[in-house]
Chains A and B, each alone.
Chain A
């Protein structure tokens, strides 16, 4: 079974631009979560989607948003990029909200210049 896939793997953007990252969960998994990883703040939860609805949100500004489609694929969007948004963005999928085990993709490395 294929794992979690994320596209693109690397991205370079300029301050003020916006970016959209994509995540395809493991086949059959219905819950998708997003995390940001930086050297300074470590791994931080962004949001979780299940059945096309945001179920949980971390402590990030409104510039960070996401959505989930009917096939469980998810996208996250960051508008008005800042230098501090440079990070590895990780997507994780789980079978269901109650399964607790999350399986991570390889991440998208975003660099903001």
Chain B
């Protein structure tokens, strides 16, 4: 079974500053990794995914993430945040045996002017 740990439950950050959201996973097999964003009263929007290939993955809205197999991590970064990036962010994992997503507890990002 897989599990996901998001190391920060809340991250306050000033506008135009960089942000990093940390995600660690555990699994006995090769995994597929995802970051989703959820704005208030909305569903989840896929930011980016790692399925195979390059370990540096670029997504929408200027986000990127790096897959590190040795550290079992998939941290999300953005070099300069906007007020509109205020939302909850979820890291998720699945594997080839099982198409369900296992989610972390989420990280709430609050961007302040």
A residues whose Cβ falls under 8 Å from a Cβ of B: 4, 31, 33, 35, 42-45, 48, 55-56, 58, 90, 92, 94, 97, 100-107
Q: Is the CB of A42 within 8 A of B99?
A: no
Offer 5 A-B interface pairs, CB within 8 angstroms, sorted by A: A33-B100, A43-B106, A90-B43, A92-B44, A94-B99
Interface size class of B (residues with CB under 8 A): 20 to 34
With a cutoff of 8 Å between Cβ atoms, the chain B residues found around residue A104 in the complex are 36, 43-46
In the complex, residue of chain A having the shortest beta-carbon distance to the beta carbon of B95: A100
Q: In angstroms, how far is the closest chain A Cβ from the Cβ of B64?
A: 17
With a cutoff of 8 Å between Cβ atoms, the chain B residues found around residue A55 in the complex are 99
Would you call B103 an interface residue if the criterion is a C-beta within 8 Å of the partner chain's C-beta atoms?
yes
Select which of B43, B101, B106 is within 8 A of A45 by beta carbon.
Answer: B101
With a cutoff of 8 Å between Cβ atoms, the chain B residues found around residue A33 in the complex are 99-101
With a cutoff of 8 Å between Cβ atoms, the chain A residues found around residue B45 in the complex are 104
A24 to B21, CA, bound (A): 32
Q: Restricting to B65-113, which residues have a CB under 8 Å from any CB of A?
A: 90, 92, 94, 98-106
With a cutoff of 8 Å between Cβ atoms, the chain A residues found around residue B106 in the complex are 42-43
Q: Restricting to B40-76, which residues have a CB under 8 Å from any CB of A?
A: 42-46, 49, 51
Q: Is the CB of A100 within 8 A of B44?
A: no
In the complex, residue of chain A having the shortest beta-carbon distance to the beta carbon of B105: A42
With a cutoff of 8 Å between Cβ atoms, the chain B residues found around residue A102 in the complex are 46, 101
Choose among B45, B46, B99 the residue with the greatest number of A CB atoms under 10 Å from its CB: B99
What 0/1 pattern do residues 13 to 46 of B give for CB contact below 8 A with A? 0000000000000000000101010000011111
A92 to B52, CA, bound (A): 22
A103 to B43, CA, bound (A): 9
